[in-house]
Amino acid sequence: MFADHLHDAVKTGGEVETVPTRNGFGEGLLEAGKRNKDVVALCCDLTESTKTHLFANEFPERFIQVGVAEQNLASVGSGMAAMGKIPFITSYAMFSPGRNWEQLRTTVAYNDANVKIVGSHAGVSVGPDGATHQAIEDIAITRVIPNMVVIAPADVHEARKVTLAAAKYEGPVYFRLGRSATPVVTTEESPFEIGKAQLMFSRNESLEKKVGIISTGSLLYNSLKAAEELQAAGIGASVLHMATIKPMDTEAVAALAAEHDALVTVEEHQTAGGMGSAVAEFLSETNPTKMYRVGIQDQFGQSGEPNELVEHYGMGIESIVAAGKKVLE
């Protein structure tokens, strides 16, 4: 059963609107800027593409155009935070946190600087630009850094809420955004809190077999659709949406594992080091649980249409359904 606050079109199986998550960031940043004069934004020549232009147009004196220089971006952000600012540093995820990882580790995280790292164009759904611009390792490289919070919002509404929550949170936060239009699954009313996972679909308790799906980021829609299909096939399925990958909502994950026979994790990221790995690390020490991790299997992406690529790399609805059946064998 769908959570009440989800979009009607999702609940009824109607046509779902699609909007890029980066749009939610653009709106959220503008709103955060209006609420707090200490919010500043920096960008590396991708201002419109990352939707930072909404803020830059409204607050030109609080926007720094850094040019194509992501290492500088990270450390300039750190310097501004040292003076009390709340910098949102924006680029494509491949370049930030990709190219500037050490600057983020030392000058942002080790300094515990109040910098928000916004990586747009994450995942293979970047599409035609190809593998060079498809960040599918960003969760792995950020979640290993102490002090760093890591978040992957599901859709445009959640991206807006994540942006506002990050502005309020004291300390380094990384969040990833997608380029392509993503199904709008949640609503203005859907709850978001850093560190809290949300049960978005609860299984039919009359079904004997039980699989728990944990999704993060843009694949929440596919996960929900897969859960519906699994239930139609006689398998009870729940979907826990874990937007915050670090710190993990261990209570929710432990409960999901305890109440299901096996788990499937779903993310638009390498299975190595991603959200599924984080879940496996936790459960292997507390409640070893049979798992299948849906994601990219140690490969680079390629050019193509977003949905085509998501399907090709095994993250489509049917792939998640198959994973749910397989993990119960």
Partner 1 sequence: MQYLSSAEITALEKKANVIRQSIIEMLSEAGSGHTAGPLGMADVFTLLYFALLKHDPDNPLWAERDRLILSNGHICPVLYATLAHAGYFPVEELLTLRKFGTRLQGHPHRQALPGIETTSGPLGSGLSQAVGMSLAERIDNPYSSKFFYCLTGDGELQEGQIWEAAMLAGKEKLHNLIVIVDRNGFQIDGYTQDVMPMEPLVEKFESFNFDVQEVDGHSMRALNDAVGKAQAVYGQPSVIIAHTIGGKGVDVFERDFRWHGNPPGKGPEDKIPKSDQARVALEKLRTLAGMIDKDNHA
Nearest to 58 by CA among 80, 37, 86, 73: 37
By beta-carbon proximity to partner 1, the closer residue of 40 and 245 is 40
Q: Which is nearer to partner 1, 106 or 303 (CB)?
A: 106
Rounded distance between C-alpha atoms, residue 193 and residue 294, angstroms:
25
| Total of chain residues touching partner 1, rule CB under 8 A | 29
Nearer to partner 1, 101 or 192 (CB): 101
Counting contacts by CB under 8 A, is residue 72 touching partner 1?
yes
Residue 64 interacts with partner 1 (CB under 8 A)? yes
Q: Which of 17, 31, 58, 70 is catalytic?
A: 70
- Residue 28 dihedral angles phi and psi, to the nearest 5°: -65, -40
CB of 88 to partner 1, least distance (A): 13
Q: Which is nearer to partner 1, 81 or 235 (CB)?
A: 81
> Which ranges of the chain would DSSP assign to H, the alpha helix?
8-12, 21-35, 53-58, 70-82, 101-103, 138-143, 156-168, 220-232, 250-259, 275-286, 306-312, 317-327
Q: Residue 103, interface with partner 1 (CB under 8 A)?
A: yes
Judge whether 149 and 173 are in contact, CB under 8 Å: yes
Q: Could you say which of 21, 23, 78, 289 contacts partner 1 (CB under 8 A)?
A: 78
**Active-site annotation holds for 285:** no
Report how far Cα 8 is from the mean position of its chain's Cα atoms.
Answer: 22
Which listed range, 81-89, 190-198, 264-272, 290-298, lies at the site for partner 1 (CB under 8 A)?
81-89
Q: Quick check: 110 binds partner 1 (CB under 8 A)?
A: yes
Residue 145: CB atoms within 10 A of its CB come to: 19
Work out whether 144 is an interface residue with partner 1 (CB under 8 A): no
The window from 79-87, 125-133, 218-226, 273-281 that contacts partner 1 (CB under 8 A) reads 79-87
Q: Which of 1, 82, 232, 233 binds partner 1 (CB under 8 A)?
A: 82
Rounded CA separation 86/41 (Å): 8
Compute the least distance from the CB of residue 316 to partner 1, in Å: 40
- Which one of residues 10, 30, 40, 94 is an interface residue with partner 1 (CB under 8 A)? 40
Helices and strands in the chain, H and E counts: 12, 14
Contact between 278 and partner 1 by CB under 8 A: the answer reads no
Q: Partners of 91 in the beta sheet?
A: 119
Between CA 87 and CA 116 the distance in angstroms is: 6
Q: Is 230 in the site for partner 1 (CB under 8 A)?
A: no
- Residue 189: what are its φ and ψ, rounded to 5°? -80, -15
Instruction: Name the region of 318 (left: φ>0; alpha: ψ -120 to 50; beta: rest).
Output: alpha
Question: Tokens 């515990």, residue?
Answer: 112
216, 275 Cβ separation under 8 angstroms: yes
Cis, bond preceding 97 (omega within 30 deg of 0): yes
* One residue of 75, 182, 215, 238 binding partner 1 per CB under 8 A: 75
The reply to whether 117 sits near partner 1 by the rule CB under 8 A is: no
According to CB under 8 A, which one of 17, 31, 112, 228 is a site residue for partner 1? 112
Nearer to partner 1, 49 or 111 (CB): 111
Stretch that binds partner 1, among 60-68, 210-218, 239-247, 307-315 (CB under 8 A): 60-68
Summarize as ranges the residues that interact with partner 1 (CB under 8 A). Answer: 40, 61-62, 64, 66-67, 69, 71-72, 74-85, 87, 102-103, 106-107, 110-112
What is the set of active-site residues?
70
